[in-house]
A and B are shown apart, each in its own frame.
Chain A
């Protein structure tokens, strides 16, 4: 019995940590202050939504019924959009494999992964649209500029994702390969890549999905595909046609998402 009471005495519920609770209060205060501060800058006018409700409903009614008379042309342009995404993604996968390995701190020394990571940061930091505008100037209007834009941006994204997968591998099989007298490159090919391949495939398919979505707007800056048609319809106030294009984009993007999700489930 004395033993029991002793143990009971020694157990204590940890005291409420004042420092920590003040800390979290401050965090919330900062968060709300930031929201308030950004109100002006973001020009938040929620009441306009109510005041102009009539205008908006009139505007919205212009979209109906959607005008599908030119659906063949739309489908062709969407197909071009998908082809832009296919090539942009494929080229970036090819580049992301070496760049991803060169970004991994468990494979290469810091003086390799640091500069390569910064390069990939740069490729990732700049939006596809910006790259597309630049490439339209460089290689002219059309889908090829879109492919190049997706290629550069997606390489930055995939190299980061690929290297994160590489950094999470189990090092022991790699040691097993090393112990046979293999070269560094052979260690990567036989020890690292088989381990990360399912993840790499999954990331690549996911990026393909997002690239199809991105490619639908690349046309706005002249880089080919359905975006160009969409932009022209909006600019010309052809809202019924715009609605048709939007519907077709939603259908095709959803179909591709479903397809690629199926594929991803198969490889994992």
Chain B
């Protein structure tokens, strides 16, 4: 069964730069897929299109997630809000609301499912709070539920964001560079959590990564992008350094960076540099 289907996706930014070039993509339910590529290759743009946070060019294109239309020909689908509630998005900068408690940030995941008036007033039932607490326990930070999310470390915040996606009951999780701003051990915890959700709940995971070694370790399938096009799609094991060099030339060093050193290199992008 198809989880994500993208056909003929084009995106041109106002400066005339082509970010995505007639891109086709299909991911089945239960897959855990890595999306790799150097910065500027279009990974984030693709994920933002699939989650309906960005609109494509208005030519013949279509994005479906779980058979619900997210967008078609550059227009968001009518049921996009309902479709979004089935898709959990995890961002590089976590995108939690700093001044709210961790628990509230996770409860936000239920907004798409509970009656609107109750969500708007922020009235969550005990049962709903329990769902959120269970999700927090699952990612291992239920002891931090009452703290403001700004007080958490980057890795903890990212796990809270994953708890939000779990609470949402998401069937598909899109993770946009979830570990790019984390230290190696936090990065591993976050990837372990994503893997756990994929294996135990059968949630489809599409995760964009900066570094190939994480793709090799966690994802059976890898999609590699360059200049807005998919240049490789298949078994992660086939992605040898040699092939990467063929695909990316000098840029392959950026993707392999972590392999030549003991610890993976943390690409600490400045906050504003989030594409």
Contacts and interface: CB of A to CB of B under 8 A. Distances in A.
Interface of A: 172-173, 175-183, 185-186, 189-191, 194-195, 197-198
Nearest to B110: A180
Contacts, number: 86
Given A175-B89, A179-B89, A190-B122, 5 more contacts: A173-B95, A176-B89, A179-B95, A181-B83, A191-B97
B99 A194 contact: yes
B98 A173 contact: yes
Contact of B109 (A173, A180, A198): A180
Contacts of B161: 176
B223 to A, nearest CB: 21
B11 interface: no
B84 A176 contact: no
Nearest to A179: B89
B106 to A, nearest CB: 10
A60 B122 CA distance: 60
Contacts of B51: 179
A179 B82 CA distance: 10
B45 interface: no
Contacts of B81: 181-183
Contacts of B94: 176
A179 B84 contact: yes
A178 to B, nearest CB: 7
A172 B120 contact: no
9 contacts: A172-B93, A172-B274, A179-B53, A179-B88, A180-B112, A186-B111, A186-B119, A190-B108, A194-B99
Interface in B98-119: 98-100, 104, 108-113, 116, 119
B212 interface: no
B122 A180 contact: no
B100 A180 contact: no
Interface of B: 51, 53, 81-89, 91, 93-100, 104, 108-113, 116, 119-120, 122, 161, 164, 168, 274
Contact of A181 (B100, B111, B120): B111
Contacts of A198: 99
A67 to B, nearest CB: 52
Most buried by B among A176, A178, A185: A176
B94 to A, nearest CB: 8
B255 to A, nearest CB: 25
Contact of B111 (A172, A190, A195): A190
Contacts of B88: 179-180
Contacts of A183: 81, 111, 116, 119-120
B108 A195 contact: no
Contact of A180 (B93, B104, B120, B164): B164
A180 B99 contact: no
Given A173-B98, A183-B116, A195-B97, A178 B122 contact: no
B274 A181 contact: no
A182 B95 contact: no
